[in-house]
Structure 1
Amino acid sequence: MPLRCSLLLGFVLGMAVIVLAQPPSIYEVLSANGLPMGLIPRGVTDYTLDDYGRFEVHLGQACNAKFEDEIHFDMNVSGVLRYGQMEEVDGIAAQDLFLWFPVKGIRVDVPSSGLVYFDVGVVSKEFSFSSFDTPRECTAIVHPEHILPIRVPDHHDDAPLLLLDS
């Protein structure tokens, strides 16, 4: 009988350790890497992060969030996470006037500067760090076909992809 109790107690304690050892949320990962938690909107269903900083975030649906400008998030957002920056970003676009610019990278120059920079290939868009303090609600795209990809001539071999809001 004491052996059964010991085994049962060991099993219960083992399960408690597994439950308590939950991985951090993507928002905690961003914060630990010097980035504001609100760079990824609410609605994350899961995410992966490997030892090299490659990440993929899965949202329940493609959506737009309003910050200083409108930001579009695909259902899957990926990139490489480094301290103070996201590189090789895929799945995020920033709107300026009526054009959608795919975001290639995001960086916080110096956290005390209060600025976040979105690299959209041709230029950088500057946002207030405080705009991304908390994850925003993200509105589902009712008609995703309103975002039409077009190529814009550039001085580089790989012309940046612009998205035109029709």
Structure 2
Amino acid sequence: MICRRPLPLLFTLIPLILVAATAKEAAEEAPATTVYEVLRQHGLPSGLFPKGVREFYLDEEGHFEVHLEEECTAKFETEVHYARNITCTVTYGQITAISGLSAQELFLWFPVRGIRVDIPSSGLIYFDVGVIYKQFSLSLFETPPDCSPSRDHLLEGSRIAQIVSESQSGKLRYDLDQEYTMSAVVA
């Protein structure tokens, strides 16, 4: 006597296995839902961008746009200024062609051109600020930092230069004090 029940059961199980395998692949290839997940998927720490990311875009070629609510400054070992819109190219372990990010060294602000993690186990991350690579501990960038609203540093510097050129030396301190007192009251 031939038993015919196992064959229909086999035809039922094969489609279920295929559906489960397809669902697993789709889940693994699902796009990142946050900018921080994008960073982690590319071997970078999630704290490179601050809290307050409004939206972001990433295409297949790695062109990456990050839009913040407003420009701001975060404090790591040094201050980092984030423009409202940041563009770059992201590949595994590095970000290149950055626009909208600058770091303070002493009293000067330098554009950050690139960020890279050579060997994650080294615990180091490097910032390319044009003339040198600044080395930081990866642990500084584990979580997205709080970011304080800031004014454009270049405009602030040019405003001081304008006050200096228009003021007499004895009147300079008074004008600067008035300027910052008024901006503190308005803010």
TM-score category (smaller protein): 0.7 to 0.9
Residue 42 of structure 2 is aligned to residue 64 of structure 1: no
Residue 117 of structure 2 is aligned to residue 84 of structure 1: no
After TM superposition, give the deviation of residue 146 of structure 1 in Å.
Answer: 2.4
Work out the CA distance in 1 between the residues paired with 2:128 and 2:152. Answer: 26
User: TM-score, normalization: structure 2?
Assistant: 0.65
For 1:13, the equivalent position in structure 2 comes to none
For 2:53, the equivalent position in structure 1 comes to 44
For 1:141, the equivalent position in structure 2 comes to 150
> Which structure shows the bigger proportion of residues in strand conformation?
1
Question: SS state of the match for residue 52, structure 1?
Answer: coil
Question: Match for 1:105: what amino acid?
Answer: G
Q: Which runs of 5+ in 2 are unaligned?
A: 1-29, 159-187
Deviations 1:30-77 (A, max 9, x none): 001100000000000000000000000000001000001000000011
Work out the CA distance in 1 between the residues paired with 2:42 and 2:157. Answer: 31
- Is the Cα–Cα contact under 8 Å of residues 32 and 38 in structure 2 kept in the other structure? no
Work out the CA distance in 2 between the residues paired with 1:114 and 1:23. Answer: 24
Work out the CA distance in 2 between the residues paired with 1:126 and 1:56. Answer: 24
For 2:116, the equivalent position in structure 1 comes to 107
Label 1:109 to 1:147 Cα distance change in 2 as closer, same or farther (>3 A): farther
Question: SS state of the match for residue 37, structure 2?
Answer: helix
Work out the CA distance in 2 between the residues paired with 1:134 and 1:28. Answer: 12
Instruction: Name the count of aligned residue pairs.
Output: 128
Question: Match for 1:57: what amino acid?
Answer: V
For 1:159, the equivalent position in structure 2 comes to none
User: TM-score, normalization: structure 1?
Assistant: 0.73
After TM superposition, give the deviation of residue 24 of structure 1 in Å.
Answer: 1.8
Percent identity, aligned pairs only, is 52
Label 1:74 to 1:124 Cα distance change in 2 as closer, same or farther (>3 A): same
Residue 136 of structure 2 is aligned to residue 127 of structure 1: yes
* RMSD of Structure 2 on Structure 1 (CA): 1.5
Q: Following superposition, which runs of at least 4 residues in structure 1 exceed 6 angstroms of deviation?
A: none
> Which structure shows the bigger proportion of residues in helix conformation?
2
Residue 88 of structure 2 is aligned to residue 98 of structure 1: no
Work out the CA distance in 2 between the residues paired with 1:143 and 1:52. Answer: 31
Larger Cα-atom Rg: 2
